[in-house]
Structure 1
Amino acid sequence: MGWVEGLRGLAQRYPALVALLAQLTATALLTVIVLFANYIAHWRFALLTAGLLQGLMAASIGRWLGLSRWWWWLNLAFVPALLAFGGAPLPSWVFLLVFFILLLLNWNSFSERVPLYLTGAQGTQLLADILARQPAPLRFVDLGCGPAGPLLALARQFPEGRFVGVETAPLSYLLAWLRSLFQRNCSIRYQSLWRTDLTEFNVVYCFLSPAPMPQLWQKVCAEMQPGALFVSNTFAVPGVPADRELDLHDWRDSSLLLWRIPG
């Protein structure tokens, strides 16, 4: 259905908006279920039971619309957490703090339409297999590295290479920078991917969203050296078939898309 595909596309660009839609839809469905159950069987849900049911529906709707795994857990827990802590003697600043933590982790979802996507273990292993076949010296950059787990794993596996992560979500950058302090061949830059000079790297990796891919491809073609490798997790360049596509066999049915820069 076209409207479903439209919402799934929206989930890639504005996941917070689709998560809100999932919450509102689940709340509406729960209202119908509660009224129907009360009318037919005079059955009333306990408040926390109703909250858990709403959370499960919101998480399932969000997942169906293409939200990533961490949004599943957030949608699941949101209303039950409000109900559980609603009567607890917690200061209001606790909820404000949680909001700001989520905002700082997912900052790029609003500024650059790039939400936080995390490369899984399968993707990291497949990247390692790819890097093992690249000529030395290896110079690798992760555009939007998040907390930098996969980047650091690769840096440890290839100690002779040079690994750089760029990130502009403040909390993600801070976590990545702290984690990289003791990894000598890895550095983290608080820098927009658009300000990153790609000429110094022979492997460029990203896991972004559909929104920036056309413009990023132009940057890649203008700056990367012939023979260098551009790798995108999941998201294709419109109108430019990948030279290779490697399935990750994960729950997202995602893949690594590889382009070799022509001479």
Structure 2
Amino acid sequence: MATLLVAASIYLAARWGDWRPSWLGAGLVQGLLAASIGRWLGLARWWWWLNLLFVPALLLASGAALPSWVFLAGFVLLLLINWNSAVEGVPLYLSGARCREQLLTLLAERGAEFRFVDLGCGPAGTLLYLARRFPAAQFVGVETAPLTFAIAWLRCLAQGNCRVRYQSLWRTDLSAFEVVYCFLSPAPMAALWDKARAQMKPGSWLLSNSFEVPGVPAERVIDLHDWRQSRLLLWRMGGD
């Protein structure tokens, strides 16, 4: 949207006047617009900086005599972060602030002590947020994207009731947890449901951000009212 607005402005300025912005100047304006739109949409604060700097950085890099290893390093970095997308069909999705608030409300219903696992915890933002607010509960995150795991593991070192494992969700024993949370993709949900039914104990919860189990209506659906129109879906094991 920001790029289209800037492009249209440059076109109109060239057609009806003599103003000719530099490419870098146009990129900075695009970044400011993109960051403002991101804030309006309710994106996390780090997205504002990414939106602000992405196009200017791209324009600067395009005119620089960069060595070839820089591009290889960029590819490897993206691979280390997005490994799950290539291997398991699960991109890196980050739970928003409204999802965390609803998780906080839901978990309060289970009392002070429970065991929680985040299947594909990413950089552990949600995991740490919850662990700090339920000090008597135990929180585990599993992650297989190497760099994302390293970040999550380091962030959780100082939090006594929170730990992160380098482990596939398919190798995680769900029977050890009263609450299982995931933000995956449509691809693994049917198989995850079969795994949950086989392993999770009666009364435990399976929580999914946005993605449904095919053919299995959730017991509770909570609209998060964010820009993605996300929902939090809850299935109680043994409820049938």
Q: TM tier, shorter chain?
A: 0.7 to 0.9
The runs of at least 4 aligned residues of structure 1 exceeding 6 Å deviation read 37-45, 49-56, 68-77
Give 1:228's aligned residue: 204
Q: In 2 relative to 1, CA 205–90 (structure 1 residues): closer, same or farther, beyond 3 Å?
A: same
Q: In 2 relative to 1, CA 99–77 (structure 1 residues): closer, same or farther, beyond 3 Å?
A: farther
Count of residue pairs brought into register by the alignment: 230
State the alpha-carbon separation in 2 of the partners of residues 218 and 71 from structure 1. 35
| Equivalent of residue 255 in structure 1, options 231, 234, 237 | 231
| Equivalent of residue 137 in structure 1, options 113, 124, 133 | 113
* Alpha carbons 2:112, 2:134 under 8 Å: kept: no
State the alpha-carbon separation in 2 of the partners of residues 157 and 185 from structure 1. 11
Cα deviation, 1:23-71, whole Å, max 9, x if unaligned, reads: xxx9xxx8xxx99x99999998854577789999xx9xxx9xxxx9899
Q: Report how far residue 140 of structure 1 moved.
A: 0.2
| Structure 1 stretches lacking a partner, 5+ long | 1-25
Give 2:184's aligned residue: 208
TM-score (norm 1): 0.73
State the alpha-carbon separation in 2 of the partners of residues 113 and 137 from structure 1. 33
| Structure 2 stretches lacking a partner, 5+ long | none
Q: What secondary structure, in the 3-state scheme, does the structure 2 residue paired with 1:163 have?
A: strand
Give 1:8's aligned residue: none
State the alpha-carbon separation in 2 of the partners of residues 116 and 101 from structure 1. 14
Give 1:116's aligned residue: 92
Q: Report how far residue 122 of structure 1 moved.
A: 1.0
State the alpha-carbon separation in 2 of the partners of residues 182 and 114 from structure 1. 28
- The aligned amino acid for 2:186 is P
| Equivalent of residue 150 in structure 1, options 126, 136, 152 | 126
Q: Which moved more, 1:92-101 or 1:242-251?
A: 92-101
Q: Report how far residue 75 of structure 1 moved.
A: 8.6
CA-based RMSD of the aligned residues comes to 3.3
Cα deviation, 1:58-108, whole Å, max 9, x if unaligned, reads: x9xxx9xxxx98999879866653331233354433333233222211111
Q: What secondary structure, in the 3-state scheme, does the structure 1 residue paired with 2:165 have?
A: strand
Q: Report how far residue 239 of structure 1 moved.
A: 0.8
* Alpha carbons 2:206, 2:236 under 8 Å: kept: yes
| Equivalent of residue 77 in structure 2, options 91, 101, 119 | 101
| Equivalent of residue 153 in structure 2, options 164, 172, 177 | 177
Alignment of 1:1-263 (within 5 A): 47-48=23-24, 80-88=56-64, 90-135=66-111, 137-262=113-238
- The aligned amino acid for 2:80 is L
Percent identity at matched positions?
63
